[in-house]
Structure 1
Amino acid sequence: MMELEYSSSLNGASFLLFELKQVVKLKRLGFSEEEIRNKVKEENLFQFSNPNRINRALPSVMRRGEVIDETLADLILESSIDISKVINLYTIMKTDVLFYEFMNEVVSEKLHNNDFLLEKKDINVFFVNKAEQSNKVADWSEINLEKLKRAYMQVLFESGMLKNRRSNELTRLFIDPQVKDHLIKIGDQSFLSAMGE
């Protein structure tokens, strides 16, 4: 497991499922990391209108690509959009320890208690606790934190865990048995649990 430290990189790199698929496709074709980076930039494979956005998003997408093995690559490229979303959510948790803790300590806790309301105070309490445990989080500006809270909600919405963008109502993800079995097989059941399984 990569030793991860708390980061607010989700600010510039929210869900990015389409972008992850581009990277996984190239990886599968045997391109090196360096070649993938260059190709994404030169051919604007992410289809961003703003080139600066590529530089902000690419490191996160590359990290997510690294945690996708062949089985997950096949599933994310060839299965339904719902399966892809679950795998993408897994890669975000796997590469962003703060977001994983948020899923584990807040979202899955709620789902396990059949409490489907994710309130603003739940998110605020989570960040206050993290700021008490980590100087790094404590040093983040209010603006950065507000953006990060929005990014977290955006990821929940795009993964299908929030009913709609405006609401704070959680919904259980359906996790395909192929994904479930594979994550258990590779020893990553804690991520399933964090998704509320």
Structure 2
Amino acid sequence: MGILKHYSGGLTREQFLFYEIRLVASLICENNSRDEIYNRIMQENLFQYPTERMIRSMTNICFKRIDSLASQMLMEHLANASTAVAKQINLYAIMRENGIVYDFMTDVIGEKMRTQQMDFSHKDINSFFDTLQEYYPAAADWSESTRAKLRQVLTRFLVECEYLDNVRSQALKPVFLFPELEEGIRQLSDETALCAFNCFC
């Protein structure tokens, strides 16, 4: 069973937010309410953000991503597992929360992993954006600056999870799907997502 995809170009403002989501997941695991989490993050300035509005906005994004996982197990791994495992789970949370990332990771990156065509460039992302317009019409209205920002964000996600050595790299590296995430994906019956992590069995 797939997931109901939510498409949003608002991804340009969100970034990977690894430190932030790991902290929020940890606070949830300590049985804090959402109001308690907001208050603690603001009062102790845990995110080191300059404004209360930014803190609330980024905390809300973390909640949305954690909610999209729909898995207590994955949330606990996000809070407590090694950095590499937690980063991969965070990428999956972003995929589930935003259909643009889900489709990019499965249709572009997953296909490259499947065919072992490991070259990568802005052309791949631009071609994906062109295809995206067919079922997400709002993508046709993106300015070139929005497309550039989205390219930057998607590329940075790949660097964070070691698909790319750096933002200028033009060769994808094969990734290893950590068992913790594979178990969570299969429990959610979201096998379509496995190809994004170089898993085809």
TM-based fold match above 0.5:
yes
Q: Cα deviations across residues 81-135 of structure 1 (Å, max 9, x unaligned)?
A: 1111111111010101111001111111011111111121111111112124322
Which of these residues, 71, 96, 99, is aligned with residue 69 of structure 1? 71
TM-score (norm 2): 0.87
Q: What is the aligned partner in structure 2 of residue 108 from structure 1?
A: 110
Q: Which amino acid aligns with 1:159?
A: C
Q: 109-118 or 6-15: which moved more?
A: 6-15
Give the fraction of aligned pairs with identical amino acids, expressed as a percent: 30
Q: Which amino acid aligns with 1:82?
A: A
Paired with 2:4 and 2:155, the residues of 1 have a C-alpha distance of 25
- Inter-CA distance 4–34: structure 2 relative to 1 (3 Å threshold): farther
Contact 2:26/2:76 (<8 A) preserved: no
Contact 1:6/1:137 (<8 A) preserved: no
Q: 5-14 or 51-60: which moved more?
A: 51-60
Q: What is the aligned partner in structure 2 of residue 120 from structure 1?
A: 122
Contact 2:164/2:171 (<8 A) preserved: yes
Q: What is the aligned partner in structure 2 of residue 155 from structure 1?
A: 157
Unaligned runs of 5+ in 1: none
- Inter-CA distance 42–9: structure 2 relative to 1 (3 Å threshold): farther
Aligned length in residues: 197
Paired with 2:53 and 2:108, the residues of 1 have a C-alpha distance of 33
- Inter-CA distance 4–121: structure 2 relative to 1 (3 Å threshold): same
Contact 2:5/2:96 (<8 A) preserved: no
**Cα drift, residue 63 of structure 1:** 0.7
Q: Which amino acid aligns with 1:165?
A: V
**Cα drift, residue 8 of structure 1:** 1.6
Please give the secondary structure, in 2, of the residue aligned with 1:72. Answer: helix
Q: What is the aligned partner in structure 2 of residue 169 from structure 1?
A: 171
Unaligned runs of 5+ in 2: none
Q: What is the aligned partner in structure 1 of residue 10 from structure 2?
A: 9
